[in-house]
Structure formats: structure tokens, C-alpha cells
Chains A and B, each alone.
Chain A
Amino acid sequence: MSLYEIRDLSIEFPTHLGTVHAVRNVSFDIGENECVALVGESGCGKSVTARSLIGLTEVVGGKVTSGTVTFEGENILSYNEKQWQNYRGNKAAIIFQDAMTALNPTMRIGKQIAECFTFHQNISRSEAEAKAEELLEMVGIPNPREALRRYPHEFSGGMRQRVVIAQALACRPSLLVADEPTTALDVTIQAQILRLLVDLKEKEKNSILLITHDLGVVAGMAQKIVVMYAGTIVEMGTTDEIFYHGRHHYTNGLKEASPRLDGKGKRLHTIEGMPPELINPPTGCPFADRCAHATEECREKMPEMTQVSPTHFVRCLHMAEEGGRA
């Protein structure tokens, strides 16, 4: 039984240039205590998809035009504002890329974390502060008691991200949406934060929806990978299936395009061209224009999702051969 079932989700953004079809018929599941990674390049709709799970689509000007997101037997997309308020932070929480803008610069850290408790749980302020202190200790902030009294600007980027994680985990949500949680951080700090997320996932038994463009981060953390391109899912499967048996040409191109630290210096594989505009998305496969294997058929009709193993789905008419590593 999955924690979340996302079915046929489509999200549009009306703009003065026309409607942007940011997410088109996206379906996937998030299991309990599972880390699912949404991978893709900027503008592929990964953040928009993730934000719909915590009811932030309308806030950024988007509109859900079809689909359902089932959580605990309910379609959360039909929630009213009151239900969303009860759900956000309590059942699901998000950590953003930029911890500085996610925190209120004029409010002490302790109060910002305690806010989650006083809002969702009926406890006193002093109790809430005590719990906030525990949380700060859990995410590895030195001198948590003293830290409660400090302001966000007094912390470094990595420490701020820890504060945001503490805030997100305050009410022990079932789902943690991590939208590029380490992109703004240095590699050594990134390693600390990723380790923290993995450790906390073991301890708190929450699920993680990880949004990233960095395949390296995904390899070490995710159990399942969903690859998005131009608003649609092009391939999804377990981490090993995607890395070692990738069948979509975009997935494989993406893997070969990034230089590997343990690789020898050879010419990088490139994906020529650019992703299509999403105001008038192509009717066929969105990747057809950049794909070496594309035929007329690809351009005419959007390929169906094909199941190649119980957990592995590919949206391609001319899949790469099974076998071997890309």
C-alpha cells in the first residue's frame, strides 16, 4: 500500500503569452518510508509536481486541471484552505533550496520552530520551546539552547538548512518534500545534510520526495527514481533499474552528460538542442527533436507508458536495448 498515489496529474499556468502546460498526466506512487527522487532539468515540472503535494500550486499561480493525489484514502487536491492548513507541516512538510529565504529573518530560530507546535498541537509555549530544542539537537546544531535565541543570519548556509529541516520535521510528517535541498551548499556541507536526511528517515520512518538535477545525489539516496522531461514522466523505476538498465534515451543521455569523478577524461556525451516550449508542447514525444532514434511516429503521437518490469516504466517507442550499463 502506497502512502501517496498520484494519478494523471496535470498542472497549468495561465500567462499573458498563453497557457504553460507545466505538468502533463503525471502518475506515480510514494511508498512508506521510501525515498523517491524526481529528476530532470530546469523547467521540466519537477518542482511544480512536488508542490502540488503540499497544496502550494495556487500560491505560485498554477492550476490543477486534472488528476488526483490520494493520501490516507482522501484526494488531497479537493481540500479546502482549512484542511490544507491542518495538513501542511503536520502530515507533509517541505524544505526549500534556499534556507535563507525560507526562514523569517526577523524572528528568532526558537520561535520559528515552536510555531509549528503551537499551530498544530495544543501545547504551551514553554513546552514548544523545549521540543524545539530537542529538534535542534537532533539535526546536529551545537548548543541548541543558545541557538533558540539566535536569528537566521547568525548561521551559515548548512546550519540554516538544518534549522529548516528541524522545522519541517517538527510535527513528524509522513512525507518530507525536499526541493533541491543541497543545491545552494558546498559539497562537504552537502554530504553532511544528505547524511542527516538519510539518518532521520531511518529514525522517523518518514518518506522523502527528493527533487534534484544531480544524479550523484540521487544514486546515494533514492530507492525509486522518476525522470521527468517537458512536464511528463519519461521513465521511472528503482534506482538500479534507472542507472544500470535505463531504457529511455533521455535518461541515458543525462547520465552520460555529467563528468564522473572516477571516470577517465573522454569527450562528454551531449544532448544537442534544448527542451521544447511548454506553451505549445509537441503532440508527440517531447524528446523527439533531440533524440537520435526518433521517427515520424514519435512526433505524431505521445508514446504510452510501457511496463518493462514490475517496477520499471518507460515512455518510448524505440527503447534502448536491455542490458549492460549505459
Chain B
Amino acid sequence: MNQQPLFQVKDLKKYFQSGKVVTKAVDGVTFDIYPGEVVGVVGESGCGKTTCGRTVIGLYDKDGGEVLYKGKDVHRLRGAEYSAYCREVQTIFQDPYASLDSRNDVCTLIAEGLDIHKLVSSKAERLEKVKELMAKVGLHASGLHRYPHEFSGGMRQRIGIARALAVDPKFLLCDEPISALDVSIQAQIINLLMDLRETEGLTYLMISHDLSMVKHVSDRIIVMYLGKIVESCPAEELYEQPAHPYTKALISAIPIADPEVERSRQRIILTGQVPSPSNKPKGCAFAGRCQYVTERCRQEEPELREVAPGHLAACHLYNR
């Protein structure tokens, strides 16, 4: 890819302080997102994936490093530039129940972005645009003046997607977009997001703990552990040739809906607990749970380096 990246994330840090305890939720994360790409971020709860996404788009202030959107520092945008940025970058949240204002009807909810950015000049145009958006995400126009509580979870998530699309964004941050939904509804939403990628030319940062879903939709996957990237590579390669021992364990832990495969699988069952992000051990954060651990791992923190073309991993096994 010779294009200019849409987002350039360089050594991004986000710490949360509570009293004297500092939680290093995101601790030096570097990656790029190219136009048209779907980048997936996976990891267990508490690994900093949500914080990472939110800090990247500027919902949270950063504590170090920088994020460039089309070459400009996201955290320093002001005035018209900031307003334009807000139009181009939108978010879909996890919980379709909590992310919609229950006192507004669907029309108001979807048109909110249109109103804020003054994208429509007349009431008729506004209504037309809302209806068009509803059709785009598979909502029936009869729901125009209904309220969020009258819709099921899957339908609400569609309202959330229509809201994000209203301002013609270039980039969508999807934070666990389907984990609150049922299996048969999940597939509907995933297909919708992938169709929109084609028709609207969208770029996604897809955050999820569901590795099978992330692998299904992403071009590139970033695996996070305790606020750091431990591995980053093309989606297929991550499953076929995972490099980092954590990624291997993560993949082997995911149940596959096929009894024969399940019976013949060799599971790597991780023992031990995830260390607390406010009290990280010295050396590699995964050392306490890793079966290949050496003395070096406990002393020295491995750097993220290339183990194969386009495949990065942070592990001493690949750097003897």
C-alpha cells in the first residue's frame, strides 16, 4: 500500500489515575490505518482495546504519543477543522440500549448529525435523507416516529449505524458492535457493515473480543495484551501462523462449532491470571502465563518487531 494512511498512531499512551494508582490502559501503541481497510483489535477484557479506540479518535485525551488523521494531530484539531473531522469519523457503540437517547424518536435520532452539521436546507430534504438512511440500514420507514424502546436490539443497532452514516463519514470506529446481539442477528449486522464498506467506501477500526468475528471482517488484526500490541498481521496469517504465544493460546481457546474438530484439537489452556494493568510486572507482561518463558522474558520487555513481512510480534522467541 503506497497510499497515505488515514490514521497514524505513534506510541500512543493513555493512563488513568485514581488516587496514587496509575492504570496504564494504553501504553505505547503504534499502528497505521489505510483508507478502505478494516483493522481489527482483539484482546481480553481489560487489555485496553476500547480505550485505545477511543483515544485514537480523540474521545479521550492522550497521555503521550500522537495520532495523525490525514497528517494532522487529532488531539489538536480546533474550530472548522475539528468540525470537519467529526463529520468524517463516527462511532458505533456496543450497547444499542444505552447509546440511544430514549426520549427522541428515530427521525430525531438519525437526523441529529444532519442538524448539527447543517447538511440539509429544508424539512423536506431532512425527511428525505432520514428515509434514505433508514432504507440503507434495513429499517422500515414506518418506524420513523417510533422510539428506541419499541425496537429490538438488532434494530436499535441499525438505528445506531444510520446515525453514524448520516454525516457521510469516511471512518467508523466499531466498539463491540455485535456482542450484545443474538447469533442470527449478529450475522445480519456484520453483513450490513460489510456491504456499507463497499457502497460507502468506509474504513473501519473493529474492536471486539470475538476473534472469529474479527477475523471474518478484518484485513489486518492487532492483538493487545495489557495495553500493548503483542502481535499485528494480516487476518488470515494470524490464524494460520500465529507468532506470539499469547495469540496461539487465544486462538486455541476459541471453541469451534464442529464436534470433530473439537475432539481432535490440542488446547493450550493458559494458567494463571492476567496481571493488573496498574501493577505491571517487569519484563514481558505475558511471562507469568507463557509456557515458553525464559529468564530474559522476566527481565527485559520485548519490542514489537517484524518476524515475517508485514507480520509484527513482541516476543523474545523471535529475537535470539
Q: Do A and B come from one complex?
A: yes
A residues contacting B by CB (< 8 A) are 41-42, 156, 158-159, 186-192, 194-195, 213-220, 239-240, 243-244, 253-255, 257-263, 265, 267-272, 274
Q: Are A188 and B249 in contact (CB under 8 A)?
A: yes
- Sorted from nearest, which 10 A-B pairs have the closest CB atoms? A216-B255, A259-B216, A215-B257, A191-B253, A220-B262, A186-B44, A257-B187, A268-B187, A271-B184, A41-B182
Question: Hey, which chain A residues are within 8 Å of B217, CB to CB?
Answer: 265
CA distance A219 to B257 in the complex (A): 5
Q: Is the CB of A240 within 8 A of B259?
A: yes
Interface residue? B267 (CB, 8 A): yes
Cα A213 to Cα B178 with chains together (Å): 14
B120 interface residue, CB < 8 Å from A?
no
Provide 29 A-B residue pairs closer than 8 Å at the C-beta atoms, listed in order of the A residue. Answer: A41-B184, A156-B273, A186-B44, A186-B209, A188-B44, A188-B250, A190-B253, A190-B255, A214-B255, A216-B255, A219-B255, A219-B257, A220-B262, A239-B259, A243-B257, A253-B184, A257-B187, A260-B212, A261-B239, A261-B251, A261-B254, A261-B256, A262-B261, A263-B216, A265-B235, A267-B191, A268-B216, A270-B184, A271-B187
- Shortest CB distance A223–B (Å): 10
Say yes or no for B188: interface residue by CB 8 A criterion: yes
Would you give the shortest CB distance from A63 to chain B, in whole angstroms? 26
Query: Chain A interface secondary structure, helix, strand, loop or mixed?
Result: helix
Q: Is B44's CB under 8 angstroms from A262's CB?
A: no
Expressed in whole angstroms, the minimum distance between the Cβ of A201 and any Cβ of chain B is 16
Apart from A190-B253, A255-B257, list 19 A-B contacts with CB within 8 A. Answer: A188-B44, A191-B255, A191-B267, A191-B269, A191-B270, A213-B182, A215-B183, A219-B257, A219-B258, A220-B259, A220-B262, A258-B257, A260-B212, A260-B257, A261-B211, A261-B212, A261-B251, A265-B215, A274-B154
Known: A187-B44, A191-B269. A216 touches B257 (CB 8 A): yes
Could you say which of B154, B216, B261, B273 has the most chain A C-beta atoms within 10 Å of its C-beta? B216
Instruction: Tell yes or no: B6 within 8 A of A by CB.
Output: no
A268 to B154 alpha-carbon distance, docked (Å) = 16
B4 lies within 8 A of chain A by Cβ: no
Give A258 to B217 CA distance when docked, in angstroms.
Answer: 12
Q: Could you tell me if B190 and A262 are in contact, using CB atoms closer than 8 angstroms?
A: no
Q: Give the docked Cα–Cα distance between A276 and B189 (Å).
A: 19
Q: Which of B184, B235, B251, B262 has the most CB of A within 10 A?
A: B184
- Could you mark each residue 168-185 of chain B with 1 if its beta carbon is under 8 Å from any beta carbon of chain A, else 0? 000000000000001111
Which chain B residues border A240 with CB–CB below 8 Å?
259
Q: Which of chain B's residues has its CB closest to A263's CB?
A: B216
Q: A187-B250, A261-B212 are in contact. Are A220 and B182 (CB under 8 A)?
A: no
Residues of B within 8 A of A (CB): 44-45, 152, 154, 182-188, 190-191, 194, 209, 211-213, 215-217, 235, 239, 249-259, 261-263, 267, 269-271, 273-274
Query: In the complex, A261→B262 CA distance in Å?
Result: 12
Bound CA span A189–B269, Å: 9
B300: min CB distance to chain A, Å: 24
Interface pair B259/A219, CB less than 8 Å apart: yes
Contact (Cβ within 8 A) B251 A257: no
- B256 partner residues in chain A, CB cutoff 8 A: 216, 219-220, 260-262
**For residue A257, which residue of chain B has the nearest CB?**
B187
* A218 to B183 CA separation, bound complex (whole angstroms): 14
A116 to B209 CA separation, bound complex (whole angstroms): 36
Could you say which of B209, B235, B259, B271 has the most chain A C-beta atoms within 10 Å of its C-beta?
B259
Q: Which of A191, A192, A213, A261 is the most central at the interface, judged by chain B CB atoms within 10 Å of its CB?
A: A261
Shortest CB distance B8–A (Å):
26
How far in angstroms is the closest Cβ of chain B from A163?
A: 14
Given known contacts A188-B44, A268-B191, A268-B216, A257 and B255 CB-to-CB distance under 8 angstroms = no
**B254 contact set on A, CB distance < 8 A:** 187, 216, 261
Residues on A with C-beta less than 8 A from B216 are 259, 263, 265, 268
Select B187's contact among A159, A219, A239, A258, beta carbons within 8 Å: A258
Contacts of A215 in B (CB 8 A): 183, 257
CB neighbours (8 Å) of B188 from chain A are 270, 272
Q: Indicate if the CB atoms of B215 and A213 lie closer than 8 Å.
A: no
Contacts A187-B209, A195-B269 hold; do A268 and B190 have CB atoms under 8 A apart? yes
CA distance A159 to B271 in the complex (A): 12
